[in-house]
Chains A and B, each alone.
Chain A
Amino acid sequence: MFNSHYALMKEFASRLSVSGREHDFSNDLKAWMKPFADTVSTDAMGNLLLVKKTAVLDAPRLLLTAHMDQVGFMVTHIENNGYIRLSPVGSVNPIAYSNIPVKFSRGSKGILVAETNCKPEEMKPNKLYADIGTISLKETEKYVQVGDVCAIDVPLMKLKGSRIAGAALDNKASCAIIYKIAQLLSAEEALPFEVGFAFTVQEEVGCRGSKTIAYSFAPSYALNFDVTPCYDTIGSIPGNVRLGKGAAIKIRDNTVIVCKTIVDSLEQTAKEESIPIQREIIASGGSDTGVLQLTRQGVAAGSLSLPCRHIHTGTETIDSKDFDAIVQLALAWIMKGKVFEFESLG
C-alpha cells in the first residue's frame, strides 16, 4: 500500500492530529491497521487499541505504543477584527513558531505570527496569533471556530541520502513504525502471546492517554515508540544519540529508568541480527514509557526511539536507516519471544 518508508511517513505526517483532536487520524489508522489485528476499540479518552489475539490461554500480553498526537495550538478566542488567538498545546518554542504557515482543523490554511514589536525576551507562546486572511469575527467563524486546532504546515521532503525532514515526524514516524511492525507480524506464524498496538492520545500535554489504555489492556510488557533528540547539530549539548547511527534503545528519560532486562534483551537481539543500535539517555523530555511502567501492579516497559533533530519544529529530521533498524529490531525481538526471558525483574 505504501511503497516506501518515505511514502508511508509522508501520508501519516500529512494528517492533522493536535492533542485532544486525534479523532480523524485515529480513524485513518484504524482503517490502515485493521488487516493486521483481530479486534479494534477506542476508549473514553480516544486512545486507539488494536489487538492481535493468540490461541494460547492466559498468555502474556505485550503492548506496543506510539502517541498519535502532535504539538500545535488550540483556538481559544477570536478578535473582533478576525485575528485568531491561540493556546499552545504541548511544549512549543515560540521562536520556532513565529512567521510560519499553519493548517486548521476544518481545512483552512493561514500564517502564525508574533505580536509586532514584541521583544525577544518577552516572547511567549501566547504572543503568537494566526491570520487566515479574514477581516472580521463573523468571517473567521465561517472557517475557524473556538475549540479548533492548528499545527505547523510543512510537508515532508527528502534530503540527501536517506534523510527526511518536515513537520510532525514526532510522532507520526513512530506510528508508521508500528504500522510496519504490525504488517510484518501479520505475515508470520501465530504468536504464543497477545500483542496490542495502542495509538495513544495527549502525550504532548503530559502523557495523559497512555495511562488509561495501559490500565485497560493491562499488559505484562510494553514497548513504547517515540522520537528522541540527536546531539549532532551545531550548538548541541553533549549527548550520545546521532542521526543515522541506528535504533536508539532508551536507557532513561525524565519519566523512566527502563527495566534492564528489556535493554539487555534488545541489545542482544541487535547483536544477533547485526542491527545498528545506540544507547539513549535524555535528562529532560519524557515519554509514555514511564506511565506504562507504573500502571497497576507494574509493567516491564521499554522504548525504541527514532533519532530526530529539531524536535517540535517544522524541520524535524530523521534517517530512514534508523526507521528500518527499529522495525527490524522490534520484529526480531518479538519473534524470538524475548518477552519470555523475564523470570524476575527484581
Chain B
Amino acid sequence: MQIENFFSLCEVFGPAGEEKGVFQWMEKELSGHGVSITYDKVGNMHLYKPGKKPPPNKVLFTAHADEVSLMIQSADEMGFLLFGGNQSLTSRFAGNMMPTAICGKRLVVGKNHIPGVVCIKPISLQSEAEKNKPPFIDEMRLDIGAKTKEEALSLCPIGSLAIFDSDSYSFGNGRIKAKAVDDRIGCYLITEYCKQNLPFDFHAAILVQEELGCRGAHVAAYIQQPDIAVVLDATTAGDVGQVSGMQCVTVQGEGGVISYIDGGTIYDYALTQKAFALARENGIKAQVKRMATGANDAKSIQRSGVGVRVISLSLPTRYIHSSACVAQLKDMEAMEKMIPLLHNQFAEE
C-alpha cells in the first residue's frame, strides 16, 4: 500500500451528491492501465479491466465514493449557516454526519472549500439541561466568518455541500488517521487491483450516495446484473476504552471484517464460509462482525433484479464517520490480500 497515495484520496472533496472528485482521482491513477470507464445516469462509475479470460460467474466488486457530509439549507441574519431542517439526533437528513461528531469541528464548503467551524450555543449560556444532552442538528450553525445573511449565502449558496476539513498522517505503531476512510479504502483497493494483470476479467462499480441510504447501488446492480457481489467498505471498530467482547463489534489488528449479518443484509452463507476458508488457507487475518449493526450497499445489491449473492469485506475503523478515522495498516494490507483470492475463487464458484 502506498500510504501517501491513499492519503491523497482520503483528502479529496467527495460528499454524497458530488463525488466526481473521487472519480477524477481514480481516472488519473488508472490512466494507461487498460481499464474502460463508464458512468451511469445517477453518476456511479463502472470499471472494466479485461483479464486472461472471462469468468464463468460475473463477480462485481463495489466501493462507495461518497463521504459523510452536510448540505447548507439557509443562513440566519447574523451570517451563520444552517444545515439541519428538523429536530432529530440522527442525521440521515444531513449526509450521515452525527451531531455529536461535528461540534467545534472544521468543515469546508463547496468547490471553493470555504472554511467554517460548527458551533452551538456557548457553554456559558447553556442551561444545566442543555449541557447534559447532545444538541440537535438544527440548533447548530456553521460559522464561516460572514457578517450578514447575504454575504454567507453568496459564499455558500443554499445546496452547497460541506465535508470535514481534516488532514491525514501515520501515527502510533502502524496506524493512520484521516477523514473519509469510509469508503476511500474500498476505492483505493479497487484502483490498485485494476493496475495488475488479472487472470479473469474484472468488473467494479464505484457507487454514489451510499451515506444517504445505499442509493447508487440500486442502479449499478441493475445495470451490471452480477452473479456475485463483493462489497468493500469500512465498519466500526469499538475496541476502545472499557469496551470489550461483543460490544466492540470489530477489533483492530484482526484483519478485514467479513460479516454473516448486519443491519441491512444476511450475507450468502456459502460465500462467507468460503471467504473465511480462503483467509485461513492463505494465512491472512479475517474477523467476523460481532453485532448485527450498520448496513452497506449489499442491501441494495442483494435484492436487485433476479437477486445477487453478496458478501462484504470491511476495514475495522475506529471513530468512523468522524473527522479522525483511525485504521491499522496491517488490516488494510489484509484486506488488500483478500481481493485477488475472492475474485479468482468466486469467478469459478
Contact = CB atoms under 8 A, between A and B. Distances in A.
Interface of A: 19-21, 23, 43-45, 47, 74, 76-77, 79, 85, 87-89, 126, 146-147, 202, 205, 208, 211-213, 215-216
Contact of B260 (A88, A147, A202, A208): A147
A76 B260 contact: yes
Interface string B275-302: 0000000000000111110000000001
Interface of B: 227, 245-246, 260-261, 266-267, 269, 272-273, 288-292, 302-309
Contacts of A211: 303, 307
Contacts of A44: 227, 306-309
B288 A89 contact: no
A85 B269 contact: no
A146 B291 CA distance: 11
Given A126-B291, A212-B304, 12 more contacts: A44-B227, A44-B308, A45-B302, A47-B307, A76-B260, A77-B288, A77-B290, A147-B273, A211-B303, A211-B307, A212-B305, A215-B305
A74 B266 CA distance: 10
Given A147-B260, A147-B272, A89 B307 contact: no
B266 A215 contact: no
Contact of A43 (B261, B288, B307): B307
B292 A74 contact: yes
Given A79-B245, A146-B288, A87 B307 contact: no
A147 B261 CA distance: 8
Given A19-B266, A87-B292, A147-B269, A76 B306 contact: no
Contacts of A215: 305-307
Given A77-B245, A79-B245, A89 B266 contact: yes
Given A20-B261, A74-B260, A89-B261, A147 B305 contact: no
Contacts of A87: 261, 291-292
Contacts of B291: 76-77, 87, 126
Nearest to A147: B260
A113 to B, nearest CB: 15
A209 to B, nearest CB: 8
B308 to A, nearest CB: 6
A76 B246 contact: yes
Contacts of B304: 212
Nearest to A212: B307
Contacts of B302: 45, 208
Nearest to A207: B303
Contacts of B245: 77, 79, 85
A89 to B, nearest CB: 7
Contact of B266 (A20, A85, A213): A20
A20 B260 CA distance: 9
A216 B306 contact: yes
A147 B309 CA distance: 16
Contacts of B267: 20
Most buried by A among B266, B289, B290: B266
A205 B267 CA distance: 12
A74 B272 CA distance: 14
A45 B303 CA distance: 8
A104 to B, nearest CB: 14
Contacts of A147: 260, 269, 272-273, 288
Pairs A-B, 4 closest by C-beta atoms: A20-B266, A212-B307, A44-B307, A87-B292
Contacts of B303: 45, 208, 211-212
A88 B292 CA distance: 8
Contacts of A88: 292
Contacts of B269: 20-21, 23, 147
Contacts of A47: 307
25 contacts: A20-B269, A43-B306, A43-B307, A44-B227, A44-B306, A44-B308, A77-B245, A77-B290, A85-B245, A85-B246, A87-B291, A89-B261, A89-B266, A146-B288, A147-B269, A147-B272, A147-B273, A147-B288, A202-B266, A208-B266, A212-B304, A213-B307, A215-B305, A215-B306, A215-B307
A230 B267 CA distance: 34
Contacts of A19: 266
Nearest to A76: B290
Most buried by B among A21, A23, A205: A205
Nearest to A211: B303
Nearest to B260: A147
B306 A85 contact: no
A79 B248 CA distance: 13
Contacts of A89: 261, 266
Given A19-B266, A44-B306, A77 B246 contact: yes
A168 B267 CA distance: 23
Contacts of B273: 147
B266 A205 contact: yes
